[in-house]
Amino acid sequence: MSTPHRDRPDACPGALQTHTAADGELARVRVPGGLLSAPQLRALAAAARELGDGHLEMTSRGNLQLRGLAVDTDLGDRLAAVGLLPSTTHERVRNVLASAVTGRSPGGHLDARPWVRELDSGLLGAPALADLPGRFLVTLDDGRGDVVGLGGDVGLLALSPDDVALTLAGADSGLRATPADAVALLLAAAHALLAELAAQGGQAWRITELADGPSRVAARVGTPGPVVAVPGAPLVGPVGAATQPDGRTALIGVLPLGLMGAGQADLLARLAEEVQLTPWRSVVVPDLAEDAVDDAAVDLYRTGFVFDADSPWLQVTACAGRPGCAKSRADVRADAAAAVAAGTLPGDGARQHWAGCERRCGRPAGALDVVATGDGYTIGAV
């Protein structure tokens, strides 16, 4: 693939560099690994209620968006006060996905949460890495194979409790590390990616847009060995209840269309000291004692969380649509919700993304396209 020619830098929004939409400014808050503390949830709920439209939008990268903001707000100060904006220079490159329920559910070889914190510290401590594109994505897979296939530019995949593969563009690079040295290897790959971007003209936004990007980046880091196949991206994530090794329970609930109301965020903050957002628009509420699980599940269900693995809401995502996006040809959220309610989802209920135009913003990998035309929807290829 040749490097694309662009006449502008990546304009991916952040908490400070907002995007002007039809309903006001849009800010994107990076949440590395999807990990949010209770104070951070309360701060986000207050910001959504007092500065935005009252909602937090979950993204396919486990981040959050606030819509309907004024041009000048104190959002940055609010986020910085609770650790959600630790750097004004690096905020847009902190796109980090980690395995859902990592360290709290069987299936992985290790706990990826320490990697999240070490990586974030390493990114923030390297001034040069602030120049990575805003679409730069890291995946940290504990070995269960849930996030490695989600298209990360660089990533880690635990092959065993003692052996970790560096992934590039979602495939094994052939480079290896121990768990203790894995983040250092990943940071070396991030520096190598930045160098290769500069060598090829600096126009690319993703490693896959570079000519022989993965192989050239790997060669800058070390001498690759044999590679192994890696799991593909799952279409849906876990949902329901998971028993933790310590005997406590983690609840995983999906939010329809990824919309979290300020009240729901406040409820999450009351239920857990830390939650995890996932790329499947779900939230992990961990560490619940046996006598607290039922009440927590009822409270979450009553506010709109979905725990049924057979619910059509696990299969449907959508862009903002009208009236928030001026480019949209339809109110896709309302139309998708109506199709769910009527049981008329296209594609026999396959994993699908409803979009108001051909840009298909927020589309998850592997989803069926349902794109507004102005006179209905086109199903499938656009």
CA dist 75 and 44 (Å) reads: 9
The arithmetic mean of pLDDT across residues 217-223, rounded, is 98
Where helices occur in the chain by DSSP H, the ranges are 38-51, 75-81, 113-124, 182-199, 213-221, 262-271, 293-302, 332-342
pLDDT grade for 202, boundaries at 50, 70 and 90: confident
Segment 290-301, tens digit of pLDDT = 999 999 999 999
Quote the DSSP letter at residue 358: T
33 contacts 40 by C-beta, under 8 angstroms? no
Number of helices and strands in the chain (H, E): 8, 19
Segment 83-114, tens digit of pLDDT = 999 999 999 999 999 999 999 988 999 999 99
Q: What percent of the chain has pLDDT over 90?
A: 92
Q: Provide the 3-class DSSP secondary structure of residue 131.
A: helix
The three-state DSSP-derived secondary structure of 278-343 is CCCCEEEEEEECHHHHHHHHHHHHHCCCECCCCCHHHCEEECCCCCCCCCCCCCHHHHHHHHHHHC
Supply the pTM of this predicted model: 0.95
Q: Which residues of 278-289 are buried (b: 16+ CB within 10 A; e: fewer)?
A: bbbbbbbbbbbe
Segment 241-252, tens digit of pLDDT = 999 999 999 999
Hey, what are 250's tokens? 């983690």
Q: Phi first, then psi: give them for residue 313, nearest 5 degrees.
A: -65, -20
Residue 244 burial (10 A CB sphere; 0-12, 13-18, 19+): middle
Q: What is the pLDDT of residue 3?
A: 60
282 contacts 213 by C-beta, under 8 angstroms? no
The arithmetic mean of pLDDT across residues 111-130, rounded, is 98
pLDDT grade for 11, boundaries at 50, 70 and 90: confident
Q: What is the pLDDT of residue 331?
A: 97
349 contacts 325 by C-beta, under 8 angstroms? no
